[in-house]
């Protein structure tokens, strides 16, 4: 038993997450490892689909209703950004609904301030829709990120291709265009939000846009489905070549966001690592193709039925090499979680990160727990099986924090994970979902006064 009931309840009350505008909450997770996961977890909507879909609402003066919105912090940040611009945004999270209604009917202030963009890079997704709809946009450059430089130079170049005149000063991108025009874009490298942003901008441009070497991620296809319901004319989304015939105006729409394949993948790996019998429901197994194939290679028994994936087993795992690639290859957003699994597999797994240049921060924290991992540039050699022991570790980004939760679930004793605010950005109530299938995990909070109050 982790702690006594009254203390537990008080800590839970303390730890309740609040809007980032209020007190800064340095939550931690305390996890006692060793429990096989048994039961069913339900997957929420995809963060990386909901964010561009919310930005797409800027393209019309009619209401856009998005169903199956995940209850995660990045959605709150996008809501604040849209409200700052003058949009009316309703967010409903209750038993029946997880939806948002966004109405950009009044005058739009086409500016995305640094304060918000620095907390969520995806805020730059508003650049294309703003210049397409209002003829002007002023968006803060996102700056560096824990996992890599992540510039948006290709987004800017592509928008210039559609006729936007773009300047950069004081850390902001300023884009202007009477009306964007169609064009032929060949992406230098595959970019997910780049493809999404230009698809939105081209939807209101004059004439036809053809984009080649596009991202094929399911979230791109989901955004195209929403835009098509809004009256856009798009062909080829989900393939490497997308054709967009611009229209003068877009309408409102109602759209159901696809399930979160990375959240689903994270729970599937949790089931594989801890043994037991876990069903991951309300997901789309097709979107998990590369991961499920890799898990089968690692000796994991996986059964797919409809919108569920069932993982059974005793946690015995075999080493398997992984190369992260663009979709439909093995997703970089599952690399950290798979590394946690590889620490428990017999043999050496070589994990190569091809998308981001600095995405092994979690490895050093796992080594603190007893893992045997050697980093050589973009390659990590993971030797297993090594017993992990509970320790105090620190999350550095969203997926790294998820991998530390997985490592803690199989570690001996208690692990304390600091800075779990990273995980709240993209996982909906992960500790409650894990507890519901037998994990011993608790969130504890440390209340800190607002920075302003300290000044």
Q: Catalytic amino acids?
A: 145
Judged by CB under 6 A, the residue of 39, 143, 151, 387 near ligand EPZ is: 151
Residues 6+ apart with CB under 8 A from 26: 418, 419, 421, 445, 446, 448
How many chain residues are in contact with ligand EPZ, going by CB under 6 A? 24
Residues 139 and 146: their CA atoms lie apart, in Å, by 21
Distances (CA, A) of 119 to 81, 89, 143, 421, 451: 11, 19, 10, 11, 15
Nearer to ligand EPZ, 63 or 148 (CB): 148
Considering only residues 350 through 379, tell me which ones interact with ligand EPZ, judged by CB under 6 A.
355-356
Residue 35: CB minimum distance to ligand EPZ, A: 26
Residue 360 or 391 with smaller CB distance to ligand EPZ: 360
Smallest distance from the beta carbon of 373 to ligand EPZ, in angstroms? 20
Exactly one of 20, 70, 183, 194 binds ligand EPZ (CB under 6 A); that residue is 194
- Report DSSP state, residue 42: E
Rounded to 5°, the CA angle 260-261-266 comes to: 100
Q: Does 426 bind ligand EPZ (CB under 6 A)?
A: yes
The answer to the question of residue 127 lying near ligand EPZ (CB under 6 A) is no
**Among 129, 114, 111, 63, which Cα is nearest to 90's?**
63
Asked if 199 and 220 count as a contact pair (C-beta separation under 8 A), the reply is yes
Least Cβ distance, residue 399 to ligand EPZ (angstroms) = 5
Site string for ligand EPZ, 329-348 (x = CB under 6 A): ---xx---------------
Handedness of CA 211, 215, 216, 221 (dihedral sign): negative
* 85-124 footprint of ligand EPZ as x/- string (CB under 6 A): -------------------------------------x--
* CA–CA separation, 64 and 455 (whole Å): 40
**Least distance between ligand EPZ and beta carbon 46 (Å):** 9
155 lies in the site for ligand EPZ, by CB under 6 A: yes
199 closest CA partner among 151, 129, 123, 104:
129
CB of 92 to ligand EPZ, least distance (A): 22
Query: Per CB under 6 A, which of residues 42..81 are in contact with ligand EPZ?
Result: 48, 51
| Residue 433: partners with Cβ closer than 8 Å, 6 or more residues away | 41, 42, 267
Which of 33, 102, 30, 436 is closest to 274 using CA atoms? 33
Q: Which of 72/442 has CB closer to ligand EPZ? A: 72
Closest CA to 54 of 35, 75, 32, 84: 75
* Closer residue to ligand EPZ, CB minimum distance, 46 or 317: 46
For ligand EPZ, the binding residue among 191, 209, 274, 394 (CB under 6 A) is: 191
Asked whether the beta carbons of 380 and 374 are under 8 A apart, the reply is yes
Name the segment binding ligand EPZ (CB under 6 A); options: 143-151, 166-174, 222-230, 379-387.
143-151
Choose between 152 and 204: whose C-beta lies nearer to ligand EPZ: 152
Q: Do 213 and 171 touch, CB atoms closer than 8 A?
A: no
Q: For ligand EPZ, which is the closer residue by CB, 151 or 387? A: 151
- Give the binding site for ligand EPZ (CB under 6 A): 48, 51, 122, 148-155, 189, 191-194, 215, 332-333, 355-356, 398-399, 426
């Amino acid at each position: 038993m982790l702690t006594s009931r009254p203390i537990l309840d008080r800590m839970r009350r303390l730890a309740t997450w609040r809007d980032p505008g209020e007190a800064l909450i340095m939550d931690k997770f305390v996890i006692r490892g060793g429990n096989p996961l048994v039961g069913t977890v339900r997957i929420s909507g995809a963060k990386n689909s909901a964010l561009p879909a919310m930005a797409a609402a800027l393209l019309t003066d009619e209401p856009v209703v998005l169903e199956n919105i995940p209850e995660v912090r990045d959605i709150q940040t996008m809501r604040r950004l849209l409200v700052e611009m003058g949009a009316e945004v309703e967010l409903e999270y209750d038993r029946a609904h997880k939806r948002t209604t966004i109405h950009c009917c009044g005058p739009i202030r086409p500016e995305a301030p640094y304060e918000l963009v620095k907390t969520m890079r995806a805020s730059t997704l508003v650049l294309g829709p703003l210049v397409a709809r209002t003829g002007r946009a002023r968006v803060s450059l996102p700056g560096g990120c824990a996992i890599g430089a992540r510039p948006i130079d290709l987004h800017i170049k592509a928008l210039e291709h559609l006729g936007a005149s773009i300047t950069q000063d004081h850390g902001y991108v300023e884009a202007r265009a009477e009306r964007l025009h169609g064009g032929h874009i060949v992406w230098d490298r595959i970019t997910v939000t780049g493809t999404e942003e230009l698809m939105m901008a081209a939807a209101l441009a004059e004439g036809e846009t053809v984009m080649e070497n596009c991202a094929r991620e399911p979230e791109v296809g989901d955004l195209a489905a929403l835009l098509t319901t809004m009256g856009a004319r798009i062909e080829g989304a989900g393939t490497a070549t997308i054709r967009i015939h611009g229209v003068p105006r877009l309408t409102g729409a109602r759209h159901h966001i696809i399930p979160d394949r990375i959240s689903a993948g994270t729970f599937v790996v949790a089931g594989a690592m801890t043994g037991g019998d876990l069903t991951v429901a309300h997901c789309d197994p097709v979107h998990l193709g590369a991961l499920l194939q890799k898990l089968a290679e690692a000796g994991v028994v996986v059964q797919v039925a409809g919108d569920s994936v069932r993982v059974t087993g005793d946690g015995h795992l075999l080493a398997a090499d992984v190369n992260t690639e663009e979709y439909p290859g093995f997703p970089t957003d599952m690399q950290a979680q798979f590394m946690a699994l590889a620490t428990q597999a017999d043999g050496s797994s070589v994990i190569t990160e091809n998308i981001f240049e600095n995405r092994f921060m979690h490895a050093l924290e796992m080594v603190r727990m007893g893992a045997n991992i050697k980093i050589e540039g973009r390659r990590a050699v993971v030797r297993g099986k090594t017993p992990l022991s509970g320790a105090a570790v620190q999350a550095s980004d969203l997926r790294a924090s998820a991998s530390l939760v997985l490592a803690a679930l199989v570690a001996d004793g208690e692990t304390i994970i600091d800075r779990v605010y990273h995980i709240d950005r993209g996982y909906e109530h992960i500790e409650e979902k894990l507890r519901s299938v037998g994990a011993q995990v608790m969130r504890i909070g440390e209340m800190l006064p607002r920075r302003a109050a300290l000044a």
